[in-house]
Copies of this chain bind each other. A is one copy, B any other.
């Protein structure tokens, strides 16, 4: 069964909102060893929805539609589906019951003037455990279609309808094996370090390479056990650059190492403005090792909470080796943790100088076995630099714990 996705919404084409549901569907389907075969956007326009449906129907047997099911006049999905499949829209008592139940779960009444109780002939309403608008299901023989709300939280909650509707079964047939590297660029890996690695890995299965910030993930979709791929890479010149054999994220890797070595960790964040802490607390159970962070955006906070000396700030500035070291030491004390990482840099767009251009960052480490600071220089806009700064901060912490 080939699966297509139709993503409906003017706001996505106009750049007002980012699209999140394709990734959610892709991740969900991986469990069932399915993937999205085609995906397409359409504006809230009946004609454009029809054209996209026609394209998807020629390539796919299931179409997952998202968006345009809400209560406002720019929501045209139901109408477009009805006319595409030549179905009249009728009152449907089951749809009314589903809509009522969706409202009842939030202790709300169906509003007057709602249209949830009319459905195209042959369509079924699907309960929405995270919102008001019901989803839609249509089995047209060759083509099956499920329409879900565009709000990512609701879309994700409603994906749980898919296995039953499609009789999907979680399969163990393929392994999606990932190895994560750092400190080496994608093209250096495949052109210089291991010029035959790609071809070698292809003997095991389908190979992919995915560059991230400061990191490259290499994937193999294979019928073999992951350990066979791991062993092959452990014997290659890439081995010293690998920081994760498997799907572990950087934040998870840090927490695993911190928990196993019984160390608590924390941050002093100036230029990352809390992003390191936000990332660490994205992992459930982070509280076992991550104790906190002092976001010291203003220099007075560096002094008052972290005890950075006014002389250091006056003599070297906040973006300096001395300040990074004092921040790390101060955070280790104030947060009462075993290891603290400090970040102080210039995320821009203003604040740069010839000696310390935008993108400069000092990363300080303070722990029993090391007191050190490192300088890095990155490119990018403010948001991108914050991400890079936090990434180098987390990698520095991982290195300390390793």
Chain A residues in the interface with B (C-beta under 8 A): 10-20, 22-30, 35-43, 48, 51, 55, 59, 70-74, 111-114, 130, 132, 151, 153, 156, 186-188, 190-192, 195, 198, 207-211, 217, 219, 264, 266-267, 269, 272-278, 280-282, 284-287, 290-298, 300-301, 304-305, 334-336, 347-350, 379-384, 386
Give the chain B neighbours of A287 by CB distance below 8 A.
Answer: 297-298
9 sample A-B contacts, Cβ–Cβ < 8 Å, listed by A number: A10-B208, A13-B22, A18-B19, A19-B19, A70-B186, A72-B190, A113-B191, A273-B277, A274-B278
Q: Residues of B contacting A198 with CB < 8 Å?
A: 72-73
Output the nearest chain B residue to A287 by Cβ-Cβ distance: B297
Q: Is the Cβ of B18 less than 8 Å from the Cβ of A23?
A: yes
Bound complex: CA A225 to CA B218 (Å): 52
Instruction: Give min CB distance, A184 to chain B, whole Å.
Output: 13
This chain: how many copies in the complex?
2
B284 lies within 8 A of A191 (CB): no
Q: Determine which of B38, B74, B130, B305 lies in contact with A208 in the assembled complex, contact meaning CB atoms within 8 Å.
A: B74
Task: List, in ascending order, chain B residues with CB within 8 A of A269's CB.
Answer: 274, 277
Query: Least Cβ distance of A388 to chain B in Å?
Result: 10
Among A28, A41, A285, max chain B CB count under 10 A is at: A41
- Neighbouring B residues of A191 by C-beta, 8 Å: 71, 111-114
Is there an interface contact between A291 and B298, defined as CB atoms closer than 8 Å? yes
- Contact at B281–A336, with CB atoms within 8 Å? no
A291 touches B284 (CB 8 A): no
Report yes or no: A74 in contact with B278, Cβ–Cβ below 8 A: no
Q: Are A187 and B19 in contact (CB under 8 A)?
A: no
User: Which of B16, B41, B285, B379 is close to A40, meaning CB atoms less than 8 Å apart?
Assistant: B41
> Contact at B40–A39, with CB atoms within 8 Å?
yes
Query: Nearest 7 pairs between A and B by C-beta?
Result: A15-B26, A273-B281, A274-B277, A274-B274, A15-B27, A291-B298, A293-B295
Closest to A74 in B: B208
Inter-chain CA distance A10–B11, complex, in Å, is 24
A286 to B386, CA, bound (A): 14
